[in-house]
Amino acid sequence: MAEAPSDGLRDLLEYLAREIVDEPDSVEVTETADDRGVLLTLRVAQDDMGKVIGRGGRTARALRTVVKAAGLRAGVRHTHVEIAD
């Protein structure tokens, strides 16, 4: 069975987040797809929120940029990453 392009994006975001946080087992990525694109929701432990967001939001912005670029390469027009608490 072929893997959907957004499955790779979910895996990429999960991998990147697990490398950043102190509690990698608490990383959870959920995916919602519709006709406009893909929404990936990232959840981490409360203590790791600061690491995922970064100073001034730099880390969060970098995560979004990498996932968006990977999405475009995979043929997904719109990719949005939301960091939920």
Which CATH number fits the domain that encloses residue 76?
3.30.300.20
How many residues make up the chain in this entry?
85
pLDDT of the residue at 77: 87
SS3 content of the chain, % helix, strand, coil (to 5): 55, 25, 20
- Give CA–CA dist 34/43, Å, rounded: 21
pLDDT of the residue at 23: 96
- Res 3 pLDDT > 60: no
pLDDT of the residue at 9: 94
Which of 8, 42, 38, 7 shows the shortest CA–CA distance to 26? Answer: 42
Tens of pLDDT, residues 16-70: 999 999 999 999 999 998 777 899 999 999 999 999 999 999 999 999 999 999 9
Structural domain that includes position 69: 5-84
pLDDT of the residue at 11: 95
Mean pLDDT on 58-84: 94
Domains: count for the chain: 1
